[in-house]
Structure 1
Amino acid sequence: MAQLGVSGKRKIGRVIYHTFCLALCYVMLYPMLWMVFSSFKETGSIFTSAAKLLPENWTFENYGNGWKGFSGNHFGVFFKNSLFVTTLATVGAVASSAVIAFGFARIRFFGSRVWFACMMITLMLPFQVIMVPQFLMFQKFGWNNTYLPLIVPYWFGQAFFIFLDMQFMQGIPTELDEAARIDGCSTFGVFYRIMLPLISPALITTAIFSFIWRWEDFLAPLLYLSRPETYTISMALKMFSDPSSQSDWGAMFAMAALSLLPAFILFAMFQKYLVEGVATSGLKG
């Protein structure tokens, strides 16, 4: 009887735990669900029936109207622009951060601690602090109204990604480096043949974070892009909202729902590596 009582308490505890988790998950996902379901409502009824999650009359016109875009550019143009900027910036951030992290983790050089401290300090600087001087610098380069300010800076390392990769590398025994050097590997050979395969979870983690952050970035495109045909998705979505006249909320929510798909698919495909990379577990077995 005592054993049955303990088993029953455990089952009740599990039910309560899972019920609480499901309720919390629903609360967290509700804004996104509301946006997705609102994209199937008529624009005039979105806020009048805001308390209702499901639409009374389902319509797909918002997706057609939103895909038409504006200024002669359909929404596929903005998807292409965002994909171009995000892909190049992500490749640059992942590659450069891995190289710099290898230098800090495995190469001893004069002033390494100072440079590492300087890099970590940059994590405390919000973008708003460097926004004006960076804008003036790129203006002198003649890069304004191009994608270069949105891509080039990420090819010189990102402090958070460098720290993440470095922590992962420090969990890998240095004996592997020494064995590789005995076999004739150069420093680059150690990085390419030993480190990169072993830190793949960290690399995938940095790629996911970088892709999502660049995909949803609004402030940087707002600063440097002024021609509609160069707008990214975040800029294009803002164009559906016009405070001086009637905003097409249905089209905005429809395109916003579509814009979530790339990040959602990427996360769903590589969430296993994301958890492993954040945990920085290093070698296994």
Structure 2
Amino acid sequence: MAKSVQGIVYHAFVSILGLFMLYPVLWTLASSLKPENEIFVNAASLIPSRLEWKNYAEGWAGFGTAGFSLFFRNSAIVTVVTVAGTLFSSTLVSYGFARLNFRYKPALFACLLSTLMLPGQVTLIPQYILFHKLGWVNTFLPLVVPAFIGGVPFFIFLMIQFIRGIPKELDQAAFIDGCGTFGIFRHIVLPLTMPALATVSIFSFYWTWTDFMGPLIYLNKPELYTASLGLRMFSDPSAVTAWGPMFAMSILSLLPVIVIFLFCQKYLVQGIATTGLKG
């Protein structure tokens, strides 16, 4: 009896907490279907008086020649290339730290850990100056090239912990069979790190798709804008903000995030759990 009461209380608490967490998304969805003059008049209501599908049509049309089909395409290009670069570089660097012995390894690993504690604002101006001198401003290069160079410290640390949990006897057996350093990485380590790779891919996708600061700094041409910058164009402090179309495009921009979470949450939990337990 006591267990059943505890179960009811637990599920009731989780349901209420989940409702609080989902309410902003539900409110945005409801507001995207409301008439413009009704969005903030009865703000708490989740039921529109009538469905305004034109908010989605107007939002998708965008601004002149720059529609949201272009913004979503730009976001997809940047995200896919960044995820691929992150997987490539972070996996190689983490394998080197976890399995290879080389000079200055402890010092380099200490530098890696120190970058985890370094706020991104510290490197913002030096990076902009560097990319400006290279002539990369108003291109996608500042957003995607860093993913291929050195990797992301957080993902490298996560992968190191996972690779350290793989028995070294497998490496030794592969070495006896004639595999070199890269062969061991390709045939032994890489296939066994799939849960961690899935976690890195999901997090990298989330961070890149929702990134606003990077595109805001480096992209000035509307034809290069990502979805996050496209949403900002609906807001005009000197005029009237198009709230309905902005909420409509906000919902569409959330769809890839929600779909990936629903279909990949198993791999996300598995990768985080195994990475935390091994090391």
TM-score, normalised with respect to structure 1: 0.95
Q: Give the drift of 1:254.
A: 0.3
Q: Deviations over 1:213-266 (max 9, x none)?
A: 000000110111011010000000000000101000100000010001111111
Query: What's the Cα RMSD here?
Result: 1.3
Matching of residue 246 in structure 1 with residue 228 in structure 2: no
Q: Which residue of 2 aligns with 1:223?
A: 217
Q: Give the drift of 1:141.
A: 0.3
Match of 1:94 among 81, 87, 109: 87
Q: Give the drift of 1:124.
A: 1.4
Matching of residue 31 in structure 1 with residue 24 in structure 2: yes
Q: From the superposition, tell whether residues 115 and 281 of structure 1 become closer, same or farther in structure 2 (CA, over 3 Å).
A: closer
Q: Which residue of 2 aligns with 1:3?
A: none
**Structure 1 contact 171–282 (Cα < 8 Å) conserved:** no
Distance 1:283 1:127 in 2: 29
Distance 2:276 2:33 in 1: 46
Match of 1:42 among 35, 40, 61: 35
Q: Which residue of 2 aligns with 1:17?
A: 10
Q: Which residue of 2 aligns with 1:4?
A: none
Matching of residue 175 in structure 1 with residue 169 in structure 2: yes
Matching of residue 122 in structure 1 with residue 84 in structure 2: no
Q: Deviations over 1:71-95 (max 9, x none)?
A: 3122100000000001001110111
Q: Give the drift of 1:280.
A: 2.2
**Structure 1 contact 169–282 (Cα < 8 Å) conserved:** no
Q: Which residue of 2 aligns with 1:202?
A: 196
Letter in 2 for 1:232: T
Letter in 1 for 2:226: T
Distance 1:264 1:242 in 2: 28
Matching of residue 143 in structure 1 with residue 136 in structure 2: yes
Letter in 2 for 1:110: R
**Structure 2 contact 159–275 (Cα < 8 Å) conserved:** no
Identical counterparts, % of pairs: 51
Which blocks of at least 5 consecutive residues in structure 2 are unaligned?
Answer: none
**Structure 1 contact 205–277 (Cα < 8 Å) conserved:** yes
**Structure 2 contact 196–275 (Cα < 8 Å) conserved:** no
Q: Which residue of 2 aligns with 1:266?
A: 260
Distance 2:277 2:52 in 1: 52
Give the length in aligned residue pairs: 277
Q: Give the drift of 1:54.
A: 1.9
SS at match of 1:280: helix
Distance 2:50 2:200 in 1: 42
Match of 2:182 among 183, 188, 193: 188
Stretches (4+) displaced over 4 A: 281-284
